[in-house]
Amino acid sequence: MHWKTLLLLLLYSNAQASMCHRWSRAVLFPAAHRPKRSSSLPLNPVLQTSLEEVELLFEFLLAELEISPDLQISIKDEELASLRKASDFRTICNNVIPKSIPDIRRLSASLSSHPGILKKEDFERTVLTLAYAAYRTALSHGYQKDIWAQSLVSLFQALRHDLMRSSQPGVPP
């Protein structure tokens, strides 16, 4: 009788672990997995698949960005904005990453309880959310600046924690 209970517990824990792993991306960035019906946006877009694309992402972030009143992000540099990857960058920035304080706080809370190491696309989106929060912090004043700064710090701590975990040998993803 004990071995049946043990087997049942093992199966249950394995199923629970695989369910958490399977749905972990949807929890962090649900918009990446739920495109709007009227849109031709790709499902789960990713920017960096090679070193050149990582460097291009760095260039996008260093370029002057513009945030419109309806919170749409665009690259001011016309040459950079015309690149194919710039379209993916706009898609992720405008449709995937959270832009409100409550959504960013929700993301930070999810990141702090996230088991294992972030997937590449989740790390990338968290970095873009961090960049957005930094930009909004710089543009804000007074109490709003403090709120954005708190969000910025919590995202930074989550990314730092993930990097520390990933640098440890034997830590599963």
- At how many degrees (to 10) do helices 142-166 and 101-112 cross? 20
Residue 11 forms part of a structural domain: no
Mean pLDDT (whole number) for 57-71: 86
Let me know if residue 4 belongs to a domain. Answer: no
Cβ atoms of 151 and 129 closer than 8 Å = no
- Whether the predicted pLDDT of 151 surpasses 90: yes
Lowest mean pLDDT among 25-29, 56-60, 68-72, 153-157: 25-29
Residue 17 lies in a domain: no
pLDDT in tens, 121-147: 888 899 999 999 998 999 999 999 999
- Is residue 91 assigned to a domain? yes
172 within some domain: no
CA distance 137 to 94: 18
User: 33: domain range?
Assistant: 27-167
Q: What is the pTM of this model?
A: 0.76
pLDDT digits (tens, 9 = 90+) for 85-96: 888 889 888 888
Count structural domains, the chain: 1
pLDDT at 150: 95
Asked if the structure places residue 118 within a domain, the reply is yes
Q: Domain for residue 3, yes or no?
A: no
12 in a structural domain = no
pLDDT of residue 55: 87
